[in-house]
Every structure is written in C-alpha cells, then in structure tokens.
Structure 1
C-alpha cells in the first residue's frame, strides 16, 4: 500500500487494487505466499472518511463496505498464506486487515486500534475480524475506548504473530516466507482451507471433517513424497499439485 498522503487509507480504489493483486494468478503454482506492506509510518489508517460523508450517499457507502468484505474474505479464501508486515499504526479497517491476514509481523513501534467511535462511526466491521483474533474483553476494550494496543500487547492478545525490531524486520519476513515456500503449495492450500472451515464448526464436527481431510491429504502425491523423503533423509521434490498417488 503506497499512499502516504492518506496514511494508506483503505479507499474504494485501494481496496479494489488489493483485491486485484491478491486474486491475480492465484492458480499459478509459482505463487507461494503474499506479503502485504504499508509504506511509511502507517500501515493503514482504515477507511477514507472522505468517502463516508452523507453527500456520497447510501449506495456508495454500501459499495465501500461490500468491497471491504470482499477483500477480507478474499484474503481468507486465498489459496496461499497472506502475511501482513506492520511498521507503525494499523487503525480501524487497517487493524481489521491485520487481524484477517494469516500471519502478522510487526515492529516494536507498531500500534493497533479501532477508534471509529471517536469519530462517530463504531468499528463494527473491523470488530468482526478483531473479535476472531483476540479475546472478547480485549476486543471490547479496543472497540469501546478506541485506545491502542502496543506491539507487545497485540502479541500477547494474539493479534500479531511476531514482534521484532526495525532492523530485524526484513530478516524475519524472509525467514517466514522461506519456511512457507519450502513446503508443498497444494498441502498448504488444503490446510489453509480447512483451518478456516473448522473455526465455524463445533468440535465433534471439526474432528470428523479433520479426519477426512487428513485421509485425503495422505492420498496426495506430495504427501507421500514428503513421507518418503523424511524416511530416506533427503529433501522432498514437490509437484505442488493435487495429483493422487497410485
């Protein structure tokens, strides 16, 4: 995201651009993960409030929030992991974006807030993602007070995966990306899809479906290659496809 003038606000155009880039060539086996940065000292300040004034009208407002929902769901439905890299402030829908990404790495000076009520618009949709990422009372305090979480508080609450110094950021991102790209894309895709599906299930249903997924996983060529490579003490040679072994 590169619009420091608006603090990388999630304008309608910005969200459409993100959707376009996240969905571009999704079926290409060479695509292994997506890294989302915000240029400058702000990851994203959330929606562009200039697009939310009454003169824009309800139709435009519906378009803004439906596009935002498409973006968030698109990240979850993306076949590869999406990583948020935060250097500074992530507020409102920007915080929602961080909460939605599969992995979030931030610097020590980062902060996370849902301050919409301060400006007369409660962060209802950002709260959907935040409430699914952090304990309810942490989410409630963020939503009702607008007070930010520090990087360490966000880590403790589960909003981010890792906190590092500014100097260590690129190295940590590379470490995570390398760990992902050395795995079978098809295995990761299968796992990500089920990860989000099972969150909406009761535990008995989750285990029943999880069992089916594990058995399906075992039929894949890449799975059997991975098992063989472990037994034979060598690096696996992935196909990155969903072919079944014979």
Structure 2
C-alpha cells in the first residue's frame, strides 16, 4: 500500500496533506508552492519543508526541473518576525533561536544551489527580505508585471545581511547597495534590469512561460544539466585562470560521458538524442 501511495504522489494523482509547502507533479517538473498565506513567511517549518522537498527532488531521477511558486498575493515576506519576536522572552533573549533560524535559512539556500536539478522561481506578488533571497538564489526567475521586490530591513533596524549574499551575486554592487541602504521597493521591470529575474510577463501568462522554461530544460540530458549547474556555481567564485583550469577539466569529463557521445552523434546524424543520464 505504501508503494502505491508513493507512486500516486509522484504521478501527482493523490491529494497531498496540508502543510507549509504544497507539492505537485507535472510530468518531469516538480512544483513546490509556498502555502502559508498571506505572508508565506520562511518560518522554521516552511524552511524545513522546502529544503526536504528540494533534497528529495535532487535524488529523484524522474524529476528534471523544480519550480518554486507561492499562493496568495505575497510570494514570500521573508522570515516570520512574530516567530522570532516570541523568542525574545527566552533566557538568552532569543540568541539560540535566532542562530538556528539564520543557519536553517542559509542551509536552505545552499540546498537550492547544490540541487542537481535546475530550480525556477515563479514570482507573483511581493518578495521581500529573505523572500527576495529565495528568488535570487534560484537558478532562474520569472516574474509577473505585478511582482515587487525589496530588502526593507533598514526600516526596522535589521540590515538584510543574509539576503545580501544572494542579492549581491545577482545585482551589481551599486544596485545591491541601493536596495539594502534605502529599503525601497522596486518593480518587476527594475528587478529585471538589476538582474534579479530573467523575464517579466503578464500575470495571466506567468505559469505558461515558467512551464515552457521547464519543458525546454527537461528535454536536455539530466547529467549534462547536473554537470553544468555545479560547474557554474564553482567557477563563478574563482579567479579567471583557476576558473578556466577547472572548467577545462569539467569539459573533458563531460566529453567522456555517454550522453555527450550520444548528443554529438545525434547532432551529426541529424536525429533526436536519447538521453541515458550517464
């Protein structure tokens, strides 16, 4: 019976139990929806559920792409300030809980980067503070025209230092500092200009565009995508010479993979490749 339930869940034919993250399958795409409106805050429960699903997707060969979306009018309002504030009454004034919260958040973001499957953010509504961090951490991001973004910590005496890590790896230094120092909200068009999102589309086409991205990516060799994603994030932190040395080694190993042999052979032979993931 357990095997049947697991199979139905994978196929997306079984309603899932309520929780902070709703999980659904559409072919080879896994859709994770933040399901705690109105804020969809990154509480400990939300972060744990999201991280668990991302890590599970990384191990599931039938999943090719992960999409992170949200229910309601807010994509993600960042950390749960009420949850954090409640622990100020602890003997240590909340230090241990604060440390756990930011450590869990960092682990979630790193899990997204480490996931061998491409992760796409589908953003409709406000993405603020750690919510913006979540969008900036994803490999790709598509936003509706109604989406907005900000790092408003300065308004409440709490600089958005951890969101800054992902933000500064997407936007230029001046743009990142503008957002961090002013806390002002930017619209989707400005977010695209800053490099936070790939595309901005009308709300009614958002899901369609994200699905097109997912379908296009899912048609590629899963091994090649895994190799490429890992290499991208490693080389971007290296100096120029080290980056070229490293990626040259990656290219050699990639060339020796069966999927590269198949893909190049299919291109030369003018046929569709059959990926084996090896």
Counterpart in 1 of 2:89? 55
Give 2:163's match in structure 1, choosing from 118, 122, 126: 126
Counterpart in 1 of 2:49? 17
Q: Distance in 2 between matches of 1:46 and 1:225?
A: 44
User: How far 1:207 sits from its partner (Å)?
Assistant: 0.6
User: How far 1:25 sits from its partner (Å)?
Assistant: 4.5
Unmatched 5+ stretches in structure 2? 1-33
Give 2:120's match in structure 1, choosing from 65, 78, 83: 83
Change in CA separation of 1:214 and 1:159 when aligned onto 2, cut-off 3 Å: same
Give 1:216's match in structure 2, choosing from 242, 253, 262: 253
User: How far 1:28 sits from its partner (Å)?
Assistant: 2.3
Change in CA separation of 1:238 and 1:71 when aligned onto 2, cut-off 3 Å: same
Unmatched 5+ stretches in structure 1? 242-246
Maintained 8 Å contact 2:142/2:199 = yes
Counterpart in 2 of 1:3? 36
Q: Distance in 2 between matches of 1:28 and 1:218?
A: 24
Maintained 8 Å contact 1:51/1:61 = no
Maintained 8 Å contact 2:122/2:207 = no
Counterpart in 2 of 1:34? 66
Maintained 8 Å contact 1:91/1:115 = yes
Change in CA separation of 1:220 and 1:160 when aligned onto 2, cut-off 3 Å: same
- Segments of 4+ in structure 1 off by > 4 A? none
User: How far 1:239 sits from its partner (Å)?
Assistant: 0.3
Q: Distance in 2 between matches of 1:138 and 1:125?
A: 16
1:183 aligns with 2:220: yes
Counterpart in 1 of 2:76? 44
Q: TM-score, normalised by structure 1?
A: 0.96
1:204 aligns with 2:229: no
1:235 aligns with 2:275: no
Size of the aligned set, in residue pairs, is: 240
Q: TM-score, normalised by structure 2?
A: 0.85
User: How far 1:40 sits from its partner (Å)?
Assistant: 1.0
Change in CA separation of 1:167 and 1:25 when aligned onto 2, cut-off 3 Å: closer
Counterpart in 1 of 2:24? none
Q: Which moved more, 1:20-29 or 1:63-72?
A: 20-29
Maintained 8 Å contact 1:105/1:160 = yes
SS where residue 142 of structure 2 aligns? strand
CA deviation digits over 1:191-212, x for unaligned, max 9? 0000000011001110111111
Q: Which has the higher contact order (CA 8 A, sep 6+)?
A: 1
Q: Distance in 2 between matches of 1:228 and 1:18?
A: 39
When the two chains are superposed, the root-mean-square deviation of aligned CA atoms in Å is 0.9
Q: Distance in 1 between matches of 2:53 and 2:111?
A: 11
Q: Distance in 2 between matches of 1:110 and 1:55?
A: 36
Give 1:172's match in structure 2, choosing from 190, 200, 209: 209
Counterpart in 2 of 1:150? 187
